[in-house]
Amino acid sequence: MKESRLIIVVSLCLFIFLGPVFYLFSLLYPNLIDYMNVATNLYCGIIVGLVTSFCQYCSSKRKIINSIYGAYFDVYRSYYYSKSKTFLWHYNSYSVYKKMVELNPKIVEALDEYHGLFKKYDSTYKRLNPTIKLEENYKAKNMIKSFFLWFNKKSFNSFFEPLMKEVEGILLNINAKRFEKDKAEMIRMYNFIWSDKNGK
């Protein structure tokens, strides 16, 4: 993505710069070369390079968005499964915590590959790298309770539910239509796997 951006910037500079240069040379040295033919060939090459680089840039950008979306959705899926399927009234909070621990390196790695033209003002970058609002419930003592208490519904909900609302908001912000579709498919698959009818 960085390389594609560089090629786009250089190509645009050449596109803007070469026109006046050729015009100036055609005035100073009108019989030196066939300026129109040379300029046409150069501009055709620049346009091809621009189109190719732009396509590569968009493809790389889409891969990064999908990677970050997938990482967040993995956490959301783990939370949904843990909340929906308990073992003797115990919620598997460790499974969700493990996905949360894996989330940050994936996001950092993906964002490291992201190179917008002006990253600070890039709306896509802001959607992919939001600020999580820290709350009192996110403290370690509440998470530890959800690990070690057997009847841990209250501690599980108090720690993970606010965080998952943040995650859901991020997913909706990245791609609301896809999230609604993936969520419905996730619930459908869960109901199919754990359905009483399916087990008979």
How confident is the model at residue 200, as a pLDDT? Answer: 43
Average pLDDT of span 42-66: 89
pTM score > 0.85 for this model?
no
Average pLDDT of span 50-67: 90
Q: Which two tokens stand for residue 172?
A: 């909706």
Q: Which residues contact 75 (CB under 8 A, 6 or more apart)?
A: 96, 99, 100, 103, 164, 167
Number of domains in the chain: 1
C-alpha dist (Å) from residue 125 to 39, 85, 133? 37, 35, 18
The residue written with tokens 């891969």 in the block is 63
Q: Is the dihedral of CA 114, 118, 124, 125 positive or negative?
A: positive
State the Cα–Cα distance between residues 122 and 6, nearest whole angstrom: 17
State the Cα–Cα distance between residues 151 and 157, nearest whole angstrom: 12
Output 182 or 23, whichever has higher pLDDT: 182
- Domain carrying residue 130: 2-199
Compute the residue count for the chain.
200
How confident is the model at residue 69, as a pLDDT? Answer: 94
Which range has highest mean pLDDT (12-21, 67-76, 157-166, 184-193)?
A: 67-76
Q: What would the pLDDT profile of 106-162 be if each residue is shown by its tens digit? A: 988 888 888 766 666 778 888 888 876 655 556 666 666 666 667 777 777 777 888
Q: Which of 195, 191, 184 has the alpha carbon at shortest distance from 73?
A: 184
Mean pLDDT, the chain, rounded, equals 81
Residue 199 — very low, low, confident or very high, per pLDDT cuts 50/70/90?
very low
DSSP 130-187: PPP---GGGSHHHHHHHHH-SS-HHHHHHHHHHHHHHHHHHHHHHHHHHHHHHHHHHH
